[in-house]
Amino acid sequence: MNSANRSKLFCQRLKECMDTAGHTKTSLARELNARYETRYTHNDVRRWLGTGTKIFKPSLNHLEGVAAFPKFETIMNLADFFNVDVGYLIGETDMQSYSMEKVCNFTGLSDNAITTILKITGTQKDCLSFGYESDCYRSILSKLLSSEHFFYFIECLKELDSTICLSQNIEREAESQVGRESLEIAFKLYNGPIDYEHDSNAPKLPPEQVKALNVLQTVIDKKYDLSFSIKVARYELHEAFEKLVENLYPRKK
């Protein structure tokens, strides 16, 4: 990654960290000073957010170089303050922390998925209920994942996902044959007032439109055949969820 892209990424990630934590330039400088006994100002934070951009000196009425990266000590403070790795801030990794990278590699889940779990179980202000009820959420999530019915629920969810993917693949295959625009035109003709397939008096269509109509008819037929499977998969998923909830919170008899 070249220096220009790294600078842009640093600015973007610093801004995202600030937005997530709800900090303005002034509040960030104030909090950093309180924690690390520094003397940062609103203008310092503004300069960090402008890393890699050209500096304009109004008094001299010309551009004067490019805003450099903050000192390494400053980047260390920012990473520690926002609880992310230095490598994440400066674009060396897309994982916010080395621990996050290890968890993602171990579980096979994305960093977004792990972050969502942490927002449920965490104690930070940006977590559910501002983190005050983390113990309760941890208990609920543990019971959910430990339930004997959870695996069946996931299997049913996977079955629905696979069936939906088949339906989507039918559309993608059709688009690869005639193009999306041709399919859209064919759809309008198909739903129009003229029956091009059975009406002998219907206007003659160009060969490419005839092909698109035939492909569209194939899509409709295949998706109709799949529609029952999708309904069954949705029903089984709903039943699996009901059993999961009943297992976690049995009705009193």
**% of the chain exceeding 90 in pLDDT:** 62
Q: Domain end: 27, 62, 94, which one? A: 94
Answer yes or no: do 47 and 67 share one domain.
yes
- pLDDT at residue 66 in the model: 57
Q: Is 33 in the same domain as 77?
A: yes
Check: CB of residue 88 under 8 Å from CB of residue 13: yes
For residues 97 and 13, the answer to whether their CB atoms sit within 8 Å is no
Per-residue pLDDT band at 180 (split at 50, 70, 90): very high
Q: Is the same domain home to 26 and 83?
A: yes
pLDDT, one tens digit per residue, over 223-244 is 999 999 999 999 999 999 999 9
CA trace torsion 133, 83, 95, 161 (10° rounding): 10
Is residue 100 within 8 Å of 111, Cβ to Cβ? yes
- Given pLDDT bands bounded at 50, 70 and 90, which one contains residue 90? confident
For residue 63, is pLDDT > 60? Answer: no
Q: Of residues 98 and 37, which shows the higher confidence score?
A: 37
Q: Is pLDDT at 102 greater than 90 in this prediction?
A: no
Domain shared by 125 and 196, yes or no = no
Query: Average per-residue pLDDT in the chain?
Result: 88
Boundary-marking domain end, from 94, 117, 132: 94
Would you say residue 90 lies in a domain? yes
pLDDT over 70 (residue 64) = no
Number of domains in the chain: 3
Do 40 and 114 reside in the same domain of the chain?
no
Task: Kindly state whether residues 115 and 82 are assigned to the same domain.
Answer: no
In terms of domains, do 155 and 236 share one?
yes
- 3 with 24, same domain? yes
**Any idea which residue has 């064919």 for tokens?**
186
Is-contact 119 112, C-beta < 8 A? no
241-to-7, 48, 139 alpha-carbon distances in Å:
47, 49, 19
253 lies in some domain: no
**Of 176 and 103, which is predicted with more confidence?**
176
29 pLDDT more than 90? yes
Rounded CA gap, 196 and 36, in Å? 76
In terms of Cα–Cα distance, which of 79, 74, 68, 92 is closest to 17? Answer: 79
Token pair in block for residue 34: 């309180």
Instruction: For residue 56, give its domain range.
Output: 1-94
Is the same domain home to 168 and 237?
A: yes
The residue from 62, 77, 94 where one domain ends is 94
- Check pLDDT > 70 for residue 97: no
Q: Can you say whether the dihedral through the CA atoms of 235, 238, 242, 244 is positive or negative? A: positive
To the nearest whole percent, how much of the chain has pLDDT over 70? 92
> Counting Cβ atoms within 10 Å, is residue 84 exposed (0-12), middle (13-18) or buried (19+)?
buried
CATH of the domain at 24: 1.10.260.40
The larger pLDDT score, comparing residue 64 to residue 207, is at 207
Residue 252 DSSP one-character state: P
pLDDT at 207 over 80: yes
- The reply to whether the predicted model has a pTM over 0.75 is no
Q: What is the structure's pLDDT at 28?
A: 95
